């Protein structure tokens, strides 16, 4: 498949072809994404903190940890974005050290200057509005955003500001579907929804939510497309049973042998 660029995403938007984005945090997962021509973007999201590293919140993740995982993903998949701290220096480090091609920033008006600065030095920025998990404390939890007129208007305003500042695309998280559609119709850059209804230009899910690798909280907008946790548990049990009952390894199929003559001489 041809390399997916910002222009590709814009073309998908213009031709009403939904953009598919999935998160990945390591090399094998990135390969699964890049091997599938229907996945347009792989995102090293800072959801890494919870689903992969066992932290309670994305705010506990360090930049070094982000770079470590983003580098692994970049080796398996050339297109991705991620969420760094809101500092140009950190974004530059991410791009240089991880070889990612873009950064994703959660925030509204207060990050407009940063979006402008990063795009001006050639670092493409994917914005992230609506529910911003990095601010779950300030937002009093992981709640649907834009449910009243004032908040909805503020989100539309923010979306326009971020577009004007140069964001090439925008994640819209946990907003009513009507607002997801309205924002999509009022900006000219692709919107990628997560819990924002079916009418955004694309969709993103966290890998572990979509593939069922864990049984953490399942938000309303998550659909499980696989049950990797069950498969993994079955595999672990099978391995443990086979070791315990002595059936693994098989002396012929899973063991090496030495020529009988050599063995006799050895003895």
Give catalytic residues, as residue numbers. Answer: 173
Compute the distance between CA of residue 1 and CA of residue 12 in angstroms, rounded to an integer: 15
33 binds ligand KIV (CB under 6 A): no
194 binds ligand KIV (CB under 6 A): yes
46 binds ligand KIV (CB under 6 A): yes
130 binds ligand KIV (CB under 6 A): no
DSSP reduced 3-state for 126: strand
C-beta closer to ligand KIV: residue 141 or 251? 141
- Region of 204 (left: φ > 0; alpha: ψ -120 to 50; beta: rest) is beta
107 binds ligand KIV (CB under 6 A): no
As a three-state string, the secondary structure of 143-157 is CCCCCCHHHHHHHHH
In the complex, residue closest to ligand KIV by CB: 45
23 binds ligand KIV (CB under 6 A): yes
C-beta closer to ligand KIV: residue 112 or 132? 132
Whether 208 and 25 have beta carbons less than 8 Å apart is answered as no
Compute the distance between CA of residue 190 and CA of residue 8 in angstroms, rounded to an integer: 10
State the nearest-atom distance from the C-beta of 169 to ligand KIV, in Å.
11
Closest CA to 208 of 28, 99, 47, 17: 47
206 binds ligand KIV (CB under 6 A): yes
Considering only residues 208 through 267, tell me which ones interact with ligand KIV, judged by CB under 6 A: none
Give how many residues touch ligand KIV by CB under 6 A. Answer: 11
Among the listed ranges 44-52, 141-149, 227-235, 256-264, the one in contact with ligand KIV (CB under 6 A) is: 44-52
Here the tokens at position 184 are 């999509």
Among the listed ranges 1-9, 39-47, 141-149, 225-233, the one in contact with ligand KIV (CB under 6 A) is: 39-47
Would you give the DSSP letter of residue 41?
E
47 binds ligand KIV (CB under 6 A): yes
C-beta closer to ligand KIV: residue 131 or 242? 131
C-beta closer to ligand KIV: residue 82 or 240? 82
Here the tokens at position 229 are 């946790």
134 binds ligand KIV (CB under 6 A): no
Q: CB neighbours of 7 closer than 8 A, spacing ≥ 6?
A: none
Secondary structure (DSSP) of 213-261: ---S---TT------HHHHHHHHHHHHHHHHHTT-SS-TTTT-----HH
171 binds ligand KIV (CB under 6 A): yes
Among the listed ranges 31-39, 43-51, 93-101, 256-264, the one in contact with ligand KIV (CB under 6 A) is: 43-51
> Is the backbone peptide bond immediately before 220 cis, with ω within 30 degrees of 0?
no
83 binds ligand KIV (CB under 6 A): yes
For residue 124, CA distances in Å to 5, 116, 183, 230, 234 come to: 11, 10, 20, 38, 42
Whether 222 and 212 have beta carbons less than 8 Å apart is answered as no
Which residues lie near ligand KIV (CB under 6 A)? Answer: 23, 43, 45-47, 83, 128, 171, 194, 204, 206
């Amino acid at each position: 498949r041809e390399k997916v660029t910002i222009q590709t995403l814009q073309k998908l938007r213009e031709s009403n072809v939904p953009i598919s984005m999935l998160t990945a945090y390591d090399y094998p997962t990135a390969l699964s994404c890049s091997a599938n021509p229907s996945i347009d973007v792989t995102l090293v999201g800072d959801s890494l903190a919870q689903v992969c590293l066992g932290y309670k919140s994305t705010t506990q993740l360090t930049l070094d940890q982000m770079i470590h995982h983003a580098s692994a993903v970049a080796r398996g998949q050339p297109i991705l974005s991620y969420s760094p701290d809101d500092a140009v220096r950190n974004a530059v480090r991410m791009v240089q050290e991880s070889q990612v091609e873009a950064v994703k920033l959660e925030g509204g008006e207060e990050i407009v200057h940063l979006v402008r600065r990063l795009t001006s030095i050639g670092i493409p920025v994917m914005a992230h509005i609506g529910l911003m998990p990095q601010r779950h404390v300030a937002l009093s939890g992981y709640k649907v955003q834009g449910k009243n007129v004032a908040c909805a208007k503020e989100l539309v305003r923010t979306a326009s500001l971020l577009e004007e500042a140069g964001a090439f695309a925008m994640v819209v998280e946990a907003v009513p579907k009507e607002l997801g559609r309205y924002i999509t119709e009022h900006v000219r850059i692709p919107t990628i929804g997560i819990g924002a209804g079916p009418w955004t230009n694309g969709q993103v899910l966290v890998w572990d939510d979509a593939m069922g690798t864990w049984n953490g909280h399942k938000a309303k907008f998550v659909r499980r497309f696989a049950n990797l946790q069950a498969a993994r548990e079955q595999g672990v049990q099978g391995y443990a049973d086979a070791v315990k009952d002595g059936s693994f390894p098989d002396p012929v199929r899973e063991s090496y042998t030495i020529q009988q003559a050599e063995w006799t001489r050895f003895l």
